[in-house]
Amino acid sequence: MTEKVKNKLNKFFSKPRLITEVNRKLQPVVLTDSKGNINRHVAHNAERDIIWWTKRGSKLEQSTNWRKKNIASKIIRHGNIWLYAWLGTCNLTTKNKRYISITKGNDEEVNNIIEKYEEIIKIVDKYPGSKITILETPIYSIKNWNTKQGHKHPDTFEEQDTELERQLYTLNGRIREINKRIGSHSPEFSSDISNTSKYRCGKDRKLKTKRNYEFGLFQDGIHPGEATSKKIG
């Protein structure tokens, strides 16, 4: 872990957490895939009140269909909800046995994710007492996941990681536009494990900025470890 990232996390943990009672009329619910494992690390009573609807490996198509069938009964059970949709990871990459690879080398899956998010928004809009926030998809690493799974040549996935980062940048930019439209906001989760460095390149030795990510803070390249889970939670 670089000193920049370490200091960033230490600074966060040293601050007292101010728990407010704003919007307590709405039951917070997170609809997610295996990223929902972070709920094991939440540290505050207010965070323990969150309901997690978690399905490992869930793609947006499955989650959207599940919402259509179940949201009415869930609102009857829990009252008005504030739904935090946190999906997309399982759409951008595809699992083949133990290993993962990028699904498409273009923005087709990004567009598909945004389309499904818009469907989920329309579902929630039918219940005026409830609200929705689309959470950004954190950066993750195909190479690191495949390394943890014992792939013999994980370095061959570096180009896919570069393309995945581009797609995530595009996706999260569009998520910010959606949240702005619906009057909501998502944290920028990827900033929790990132730091920047300067370097010069080209004949003119122009100074450029490179963003680096501490995937060592993740369990396996995808799922946040304990420190980052507490920060996200």
Domain extents in the chain: 18-189
**What pLDDT does 155 receive?**
95
Which residues of the chain carry a pLDDT beneath 70? 1-24, 34-48, 55-59, 63, 190-233
**What pLDDT does 15 receive?**
44
Q: DSSP per residue over the chain, as a string? A: --HHHHHHHHHHHHSPP----TTTTSEEEEEESGGGGGGGG--SHHHHT-EEEE-TT--HHHHHHHHHHHHHHHHHHH-SEEEEEE--HHHHEEEETTEEEES-SSSHHHHHHHHHHHHHHHHHHTSTT-EEEEPPPPP--HHHHHHHTT-S-GGGGHHHHHHHHHHHHHHHHHHHHHHHHHT-----GGGGGEEEEEEEETTTTEEEEEEEE-GGGBSSSSSB-HHHHHHH-
**What pLDDT does 187 receive?**
84
Q: pTM for the complete prediction?
A: 0.72
**What pLDDT does 220 receive?**
43
What confidence tens digit (pLDDT) does each residue in 8-66 have? 444 433 444 444 444 458 899 888 876 655 544 444 444 557 888 876 655 677 767 77
State the fold for domain 18-189.
Answer: Rossmann fold (3.40.50)
